[in-house]
Amino acid sequence: MNQSPLQNVDNALREFTTHALADLDDLKLMDRVDSKFVVPAELLPFLLQESQRQYSLLSIDGVVRSDYLNVYFDTDGFDYYLMHHNGKLNRVKVRHRHYVDTGTAFLELKFKNNKGRTLKTRVQADLDADKAIVEHRDFLSDHGIAQQCNLRPCQISSYQRICLASQSIGERITIDTKPSFVASDSGAKVVLDDAIIIEIKQPRIDRQSPFYRLVRSLGLRPQSFSKYCVGVSLTMQDRIKTNRFQRDIRKVAKFSNSLRTITV
What CATH number is given to the structural domain containing 198? 3.20.100.30
> What are the backbone angles phi and psi of residue 74, rounded to the nearest 5°?
-150, 175
Q: CB neighbours (10 Å) of residue 116?
A: 11
Give the pLDDT band of residue 185 (cuts 50, 70, 90): very high
Mean pLDDT of 107-123: 94
% of the chain with per-residue pLDDT over 70: 93
Q: What is the pLDDT of residue 30?
A: 87
Q: Flag whether pLDDT at 23 surpasses 90.
A: no
Whole domain around residue 85: which residue ranges? 17-263
Give the pLDDT band of residue 3 (cuts 50, 70, 90): low
In a domain, 83, yes or no: yes
Residue type, 99: Y
Q: Flag whether pLDDT at 82 surpasses 90.
A: yes
In a domain, 11, yes or no: no
Mean pLDDT of 57-81: 96
CA-based nearest residue to 109, from 99, 95, 89: 95
In a domain, 49, yes or no: yes
Q: What is the pLDDT of residue 263?
A: 41
Number of H helices, E strands in the chain: 8, 12
In a domain, 10, yes or no: no
Q: What is the pLDDT of residue 238?
A: 87
Bridge partner list, 175: 162, 198
In a domain, 123, yes or no: yes
Residue pLDDT, tens place only, 247-258:
888 888 776 654
Query: Among positive and negative, which fits the CA dihedral 123, 136, 113, 234?
Result: positive
- The C-alpha atoms of residue 200 and residue 193 are separated, in whole angstroms, by 21
Residue 192, judged by CB atoms within 10 A of its CB (0-12, 13-18, 19+), counts as: buried
Rounded to 10 deg, the angle between the 246-255 and 227-236 helix axes is: 90
Q: What is the mean pLDDT of the chain?
A: 91
- The C-alpha atoms of residue 43 and residue 19 are separated, in whole angstroms, by 24
- Alpha-helical segments (H) within the chain: 5-14, 44-49, 79-85, 129-135, 137-142, 210-217, 227-236, 246-255
Q: What is the pLDDT of residue 89?
A: 86
Give the pLDDT band of residue 264 (cuts 50, 70, 90): very low
In a domain, 7, yes or no: no
In a domain, 113, yes or no: yes
Residue pLDDT, tens place only, 46-68:
999 999 999 999 999 999 999 99
pLDDT greater at residue 248 or residue 72: 72
What is the pTM for the complete model shown? 0.93
Split into its structural domains, the chain has a count of 1
Residue pLDDT, tens place only, 201-243:
999 999 999 999 999 999 999 998 999 999 999 999 889 999 9
Report how far apart, in Å, the C-alpha atoms of 100 and of each of 79, 108, 146, 195, 234 are: 29, 16, 29, 22, 24
Q: Assess contact for 147 and 140: CB atoms under 8 A.
A: yes
In a domain, 1, yes or no: no
